[in-house]
Chains A and B, each alone.
Chain A
Amino acid sequence: MTHPQRRRGGGGRGRGLATGGGGSAVRGRGSESGGGIKGGGKVLVAPHRHAGVFIAKSKGDALVTKNLVPGEIIYDEKRIFVQNEDRSTVEYRVWNPHRSKLAAAINIGVDNIWIKPGLKVLYLGASSGYSVSHVSDIVGHEGCVYAVEHSHICGSDLVNMTEKRTNVIPIIEDARHPAKYRMLVGMVDIILCDINQPDQATIIATNASYFLKPGGHFMITISANSIDSKLSAETVYQKEVEKLQMEELKPTEILPLDNCEGDHACVFGGYRLPRKQNS
Chain B
Amino acid sequence: MLVLFETPGGFALFKVLKEGKLSNVEDLGNEFMTAESARKMVKLKAFDKFDNTSEALEAVAKLLEGTPSKGLRKFLKANCDGETLAVADSKLGNIIKEKLKIDCVHNNAVMELLRGVRSQLTELISGLGDNDLAPMSLGLSHSLARYKLKFSSDKVDTMIIQAIGLLDDLDKELNTYAMRVREWYGWHFPELAKIVQDNILYAKAVKLMGNRINAAKLDFSEILSDEVEADLKEASVISMGTEVSDLDLLHIRELCDQVLSLAEYRAQLYDYLKSRMNTIAPNLTALVGELVGARLISHGGSLLNLSKQPGSTVQILGAEKALFRALKTKHATPKYGLIYHASVVGQAAPKHKGKISRSLAAKAALAIRCDALGDGQDNTMGVENRLKLEARLRTLEGRDLGRLSGSAKGKPKIEVYDKDKKKGSGGLITPAKTYNAAADSFLQTPKVDSETGVKEKNDKKKKKKKADDEEEAKTEEPSKKKSKKKKSEAEPETVEPAKKEKKKRKHEEEEAEMPAKEKSEKKKKKSEV
Binding site for B on A (CB under 8 A): 144, 152, 155-156, 158-159, 162-163, 166, 169-173, 179-180, 182-187, 209-211, 213-214, 272
Query: Cβ of A184 and Cβ of B118 under 8 Å apart?
Result: no
How far is A209 from B7 in the complex, measured between Cα atoms in Å? 18
CA distance A158 to B118 in the complex (A): 26
Q: Which residues of A contact B148 (CB under 8 A)?
A: 152, 155, 172-173
What B residues does A209 contact at CB under 8 A?
Answer: 111, 115
| Complex CA–CA separation, A210 to B149 (angstroms) | 25
Find out whether the CB atom of A211 lies under 8 angstroms from the CB atom of B89.
Answer: no
Among B132-140, B286-294, B398-406, the stretch in contact with A: B132-140
User: Taking CB as reference atom, which chain B residue is nearest A215?
Assistant: B33
Residues in chain A near residue B89, CB distance under 8 A: 179
A91 to B365, CA, bound (A): 47
A16 to chain B, nearest CB (A): 31
Listed by A's residue number, 24 A-B pairs whose Cβ atoms lie within 8 Å are: A156-B151, A170-B142, A170-B145, A171-B144, A171-B145, A172-B144, A172-B149, A173-B148, A179-B88, A179-B89, A182-B88, A182-B114, A183-B8, A183-B60, A184-B141, A184-B144, A186-B121, A187-B115, A187-B121, A209-B111, A210-B115, A210-B118, A211-B118, A214-B29
The contact string, 1 if C-beta is below 8 Å from chain A, for chain B 56-81, is 00001001100000000000000000
Please tell me if B359 contacts chain A, counting CB pairs below 8 Å. Answer: no
Are A166 and B141 interface neighbours, CB within 8 A?
no
Asked if B180 is at the interface (CB within 8 A of a chain A CB), the reply is no
Closest B residue to A213 by CB, please name it.
Answer: B119
Whether, in the assembled complex, B519 has its beta carbon less than 8 Å from a beta carbon of chain A, the answer is no
In B134-178, which residues have CB < 8 Å from any A CB? 134, 137-138, 140-142, 144-146, 148-149, 151
Residues A156 and B149 in contact, CB atoms below 8 Å apart: yes
Given A155-B149, A179-B89, A184–B137 Cβ distance below 8 Å?
yes
Query: Considering the chains assembled together, what is the distance between the CA atoms of A187 and B29 in angstroms?
Result: 13
A172 touches B140 (CB 8 A): no
Residue B6 CB within 8 A of the other chain:
yes
Q: B142, A183: Cβ atoms under 8 Å?
A: no
Within 8 A of A (CB), among B105-127: 111, 114-115, 118-119, 121
Contact B7 A183 (CB under 8 A): yes
Task: Tell me which residues across on chain A come within 8 A of B133, comparing CB atoms.
Answer: 186
Q: When the two chains form the complex, which single residue of A182, A184, A186, A272 contacts B29, counting CB atoms closer than 8 Å?
A: A272
A159-B149 contact in complex given A183-B140, A184-B8, C-beta closer than 8 Å: yes
Given contacts A155-B148, A169-B138, 8 further A-B contacts (CB under 8 A): A144-B134, A155-B149, A169-B141, A172-B148, A172-B149, A183-B8, A183-B60, A184-B144
A172 vs chain B, min Cβ distance (A): 4
* Residues in chain B within 8 A of chain A (CB atoms): 6-8, 29, 33, 60, 63-64, 88-89, 111, 114-115, 118-119, 121, 133-134, 137-138, 140-142, 144-146, 148-149, 151
Dominant SS at the B interface?
A: helix
Establish whether residues A171 and B6, one from each chain, have CB atoms under 8 Å apart when the complex forms: no
Per CB-CB distance, the 3 closest pairs between chain A and chain B, nearest first, are: A183-B6, A172-B148, A187-B119
Give complex CA distance A236, B149 in Å.
Answer: 35
Task: With CB as the reference atom, state the residue of chain A lying closest to B150.
Answer: A152
A170-B141 CB under 8 A given contacts A159-B149, A211-B118: yes
Which partner residue on chain B sits nearest A206 by CB separation?
Answer: B111
Residue of B nearest to A173 (CB): B148
Q: A187-B118, A209-B115, A211-B118 are in contact. Are A159 and B60 (CB under 8 A)?
A: no
User: CB-CB < 8 A to B111: which residues of A?
Assistant: 209-210
Q: Which residue of A lies closest to B6 (CB)?
A: A183
A185 to B114, CA, bound (A): 12
Complex Cα spacing A250 to B141, Å: 31
* A173-B147 Cα distance, complex, nearest whole Å: 12
Which of A152, A162, A214 is the one whose CB lies under 8 Å from B149? A152
Specify which chain A residues have a CB less than 8 angstroms from the CB of B141 in the assembled complex: 169-171, 184
With A183-B7, A184-B137 as given contacts, are A159 and B145 in contact (CB-CB < 8 Å)? yes
Q: How far is the CB of A188 from chain B (nearest CB, A)?
A: 10
CA distance A53 to B99 in the complex (A): 53
When the two chains form their complex, are residues B138 and A172 in contact, meaning their CB atoms are under 8 A apart?
no
Least CB distance, B25 to chain A, in whole angstroms:
11
Give the docked Cα–Cα distance between A170 and B145 (Å).
7
What's the Cα separation between A187 and B5 when bound, in Å? Answer: 14
Q: Min CB distance, B304 to chain A, in Å?
A: 8
Determine whether the beta carbon of B149 is less than 8 Å from that of A183.
no
Closest to B151 in A: A156
Complex Cα gap A144–B133 (Å): 12
Shortest B305–chain A CB gap in Å is 12
Least Cβ–Cβ distance between B107 and chain A, in angstroms: 13
Question: Which of B118, B142, B144, B151 contacts A162 (CB under 8 A)?
Answer: B142
Q: How far is the CB of A151 from chain B (nearest CB, A)?
A: 10
Q: Given contacts A179-B88, A180-B64, are A155 and B118 in contact (CB under 8 A)?
A: no
- List B contacts of A187 (CB < 8 A): 115, 118-119, 121
Known: A210-B115, A214-B29, A272-B29. A155 touches B88 (CB 8 A): no
Q: How far is the CA of A214 from the CA of B31 in the complex (A)?
A: 12
Q: Is the CB of B118 within 8 A of A166?
A: no
Complex CA distance for A209 and B116, rounded to whole angstroms: 11
Report which of A144, A159, A173, A186 forms a contact with B118, defined as CB distance below 8 A: A186
A166 and B7 contacting across the interface, CB-CB below 8 Å: no
Q: Collect the chain B residues with CB atoms within 8 Å of residue A184's CB.
A: 8, 137, 140-141, 144
CB distance from A116 to the nearest CB of B (A): 18
